[in-house]
Amino acid sequence: MRFYRLLQIRTEALLAAGSHVIILGDLNTAHRPIDHWDAVNLECFEEDPGRKWMDSLLSNLGCQSASHVGPFIDSYRCFQPKQEGAFTCWSAVTGARHLNYGSRLDYVLGDRTLVIDTFQASFLLPEVMGSDHCPVGAVLSVSSVPAKQCPPLCTRFLPEFAGTQLKILRFLVPLEQSPVLEQSTLQHNNQTRVQTCQNKAQVRSTRPQPSQVGSSRGQKNLKSYFQPSPSCPQASPDIELPSLPLMSALMTPKTPEEKAVAKVVKGQAKTSEAKDEKELRTSFWKSVLAGPLRTPLCGGHREPCVMRTVKKPGPNLGRRFYMCARPRGPPTDPSSRCNFFLWSRPS
């Protein structure tokens, strides 16, 4: 409201000085019920302070002089007084733009004389994407006239800008350094260079020499990598292995039938062992990676829901919930979002 009052004071001062004024942009207020998708369900719609301010700023609908109230005219309602669904802002979170479930917050306001004499049309561009707002515009039958001097509100006349950096070339020319600054910079660079050399020399002195490394590890050539290490345990001479004929008799089947049976038994044992290992590995990973929970279906359309997070300050801040994934729209539209709601279980 402070911004609204400051805007009105400034525009009235410009009008009093004999200038024409156009207010163009997002005023963040839907003026009339026709400018809001759900004005019927909003309590005290007409009592909103922002709407009362717009009532004092604007003339009534129509361009007739008898309807004059405020010094400005809403140019769109001047040319389209009864156009419904003329919105310029929609909720991007709920996808309300698909069903034109929004409000008109962007205006082209002009002073009364200017709109009546020079405005030819005022329009909205809801088909232009890229934001939660759409562009608005107007057509005026005027011609540009070059000014003899800068307007009194030009930033050139502000104290912090007057006489300094008037050309972009000024930003591209390097500033000259004073001799004292250059000398201090040179000394700092020399000190940094000396310190770096000292650090490198210290690192070299602490690094072991190649001959020392080789003598400590006992690996002077490539063959030393393939020699058996003395730390490897040797076979104990006290252990007596069975004789070769006895081992052959124990391990080798005597007949071809026994060989075939042994081969089949061995293959079955390997298959069973591999199957058990695979089942064990599968059950383990299933227990660790259970996967996401199944998305619930909304009650109105029986379609997968979408997960949202509570961002409003309160006890449920940061808590997640499921809701219908369809775009928000009028309650009477069956293609709009239903009222399904379900809290998400904590993971």
Instruction: Please state the residue numbers annotated as binding site for Mg(2+).
Output: 26, 28, 132-133
Residue 151: count other Cβ atoms within 10 Å of its Cβ.
Answer: 9
Q: What is the separation, in whole angstroms, between the first and last Cα of the chain?
A: 44
- For the four alpha carbons of 200, 202, 203 and 204, in that order, the dihedral sign comes to positive
**Hey, what are 336's tokens?**
């709009």
CB 340 within 8 A of CB 324: yes
Integer CA distances (angstroms), 314 to 173, 309, 338, 339, in order = 54, 13, 25, 22
Measured CA to CA, the distance from residue 177 to residue 175 in angstroms comes to 6
Which residues line the annotated binding site? 26, 28, 132-133
Backbone phi and psi for residue 181, each to the nearest 5 degrees, phi listed first: -65, -40
With beta carbons less than 8 A apart as the criterion, state whether 64 and 115 touch. Answer: no
Q: Which two tokens stand for residue 173?
A: 């020319």
The radius of gyration of the chain's CA atoms, rounded to the nearest angstrom, is: 42
3-state secondary structure of 11: helix
CB 101 within 8 A of CB 88: no
